[in-house]
Chains A and B, each alone.
Chain A
Amino acid sequence: MQNEILFRCSQLGKLMTEPRSKSELLSETTKTYLTEVYIGLKYGRTKEITSKYFEKGIACEEDSITLFSRVTKEMFLKNEDNLRNEWITGTPDIFRGDAILNAEYVPDIKTSWDIFTFFKHKTGTLEKDYYWQIQGYLWLTGAKRGAIAHCLVNTPDHLIEKEKSNFMYKNPEMGYEELEILLEEIERNYKYDDIPIDDRVHIFEIERNDADIDRLKARIEDCRIYINETFNL
């Protein structure tokens, strides 16, 4: 069974966190994740990961691809092909090239929740989880370059309405006029048509790193052994 465990590219960062002590092979984060993987395999239960951030990411994926295409002046179409090798599996969002297995460039689209989280990414450094996700895609596709593209697009109305409802729920005694002004402000905080498109995309370019891909392979082997030994698979 251990050979059948394929790890998702989006979760590779959890495998690659370093343990606090050098005597440990795997970190606590990794072990927790591997337990979740085992539960999924054995009992078919997965930890529910749903949030407003996740919901916007799904709902606005195509809008973000459009924004990225406009800014880079290159038409991208959503990829639907799932890829897998002996170690990992993943579905890159988009790619440049005549076929996914002949891709030259594999960017991944991340839709920011709002302008504040967008700027947090823009002014910060590339998150390690994203780095490993892209190395996974580069491993699967054979591409030399990838990227993480943070995109700021309008939030769907139903999510803005939820934000307004939450706000009203938390402020039951607020006067009508004041409330109306604040609700308008909430609306404005989630729409970005007035901001130039070039200001709404931030791209971290990532080069393929074969040494890191080898590290991924080795770590996956360790993880498989851990699952096998811990859960007697």
Chain B
Amino acid sequence: MSNVEVYQRKLPSLNDIYADVDGTTKNTALAVILNAEPPQNWIKIHPMTKFKYIPIERVEYLLTRIFGRWKVEVKESGILANSVQVIIRLHYIDPVTGEWDWQDGIGASPLQTNAGAGAIDFNQIKNAAVQMAAPAAESYAIKDAAEKMGKIFGKDLNRKDEINYQDLNENNSKRFKELERVQVMIEDAKNVTELENLRKYVTDDTNNQFTLKYKEVLNAK
């Protein structure tokens, strides 16, 4: 009998995942895990749109816990309208077969323009606009890919029967203005207190800008 090594990653149980602890059992099926409802304490409500979402750090944690090894391949990136668009391929080791598999995802994040400038006024784009928008777009793309794998990644958080599609355009415009407001207020912030007051409004769109500004303020001290 030849010495064949079989890769068989043990799957964690739902309780293990919910509780964020190590430890697995043999009998938990991947499909059950992927299609389990995410626990309420993982779900955040977007401060502006009021839509539910799972933050990127939680998605990355889940990918590591469920698949062990995963990696992101950026397939394409570019400017689409006033946003940076990123298309990624999320590679992961299927814990049942032990083979690499993948799922594609797409994400976009708007480029920040100077206060008062139009959203597509490219002469008014801020210096660090791409630096801020590109990682956010990549995060959205990873989440998009992960969501396709199951409910636990937030697939069904905002079912269509919960979304008023009639108001979607209006909401998008409102959301864009509110996002712009958060961005400009982060930009305006002069100290840690002012930044901390904005923390609860920070989402994946503005996380990078917030972090950069935080470092800037701390370094200026």
Assembly CA distance A193 to B115 (angstroms) = 8
Taking a contact as CB atoms under 8 Å apart, the answer to whether B184 and A75 are in contact is no
Contact with B along A55-75 (1 / 0, CB 8 A): 000000011011001100111
Chain B residues with CB below 8 A from A193, complex form: 115-116
Assembly CA distance A66 to B201 (angstroms) = 14
Taking a contact as CB atoms under 8 Å apart, the answer to whether A77 and B197 are in contact is no
Assembly CA distance A183 to B174 (angstroms) = 31
Taking a contact as CB atoms under 8 Å apart, the answer to whether B177 and A70 are in contact is no
CB distance from A78 to the nearest CB of B (A): 7
B181 CB-CB contact with A under 8 Å: yes
Given contacts A70-B188, A193-B116, contact A75 B201 (CB under 8 A): yes
Assembly CA distance A50 to B18 (angstroms) = 55
CB distance from A79 to the nearest CB of B (A): 12
A30 CB-CB contact with B under 8 Å: no
Query: Interface size (A, Cβ < 8 Å)?
Result: 14
B157 CB-CB contact with A under 8 Å: no
Given contacts A66-B184, A70-B185, A154-B116, contact A77 B194 (CB under 8 A): no
B178 CB-CB contact with A under 8 Å: yes
Assembly CA distance A77 to B47 (angstroms) = 9
How many A-B residue pairs have C-beta atoms within 8 angstroms? Tell me: 38
Query: Interface size (B, Cβ < 8 Å)?
Result: 17
Given contacts A63-B177, A78-B178, contact A69 B185 (CB under 8 A): yes
Taking a contact as CB atoms under 8 Å apart, the answer to whether A62 and B116 are in contact is no
Taking a contact as CB atoms under 8 Å apart, the answer to whether B48 and A73 are in contact is no
> Pick the contact of A77 from B48, B180, B184, B188 — CB < 8 Å?
B48
Please report which residues of chain B, range 115-147, place their CB below 8 angstroms from some CB of chain A when the two chains form the complex. 115-116
B198 CB-CB contact with A under 8 Å: yes
Chain A residues with CB below 8 A from B178, complex form: 62, 77-78
> Pick the contact of A74 from B116, B180, B197 — CB < 8 Å?
B197
Q: Could you list which residues of chain A lie within 8 angstroms of chain B, going by C-beta atoms? A: 62-63, 65-66, 69-70, 73-75, 77-78, 153-154, 193
User: Beyond the given A75-B181, A193-B115, could you list 7 further A-B residue pairs with CB under 8 A, ordered by the A residue number?
Assistant: A66-B181, A69-B185, A70-B188, A74-B197, A75-B182, A75-B198, A77-B47
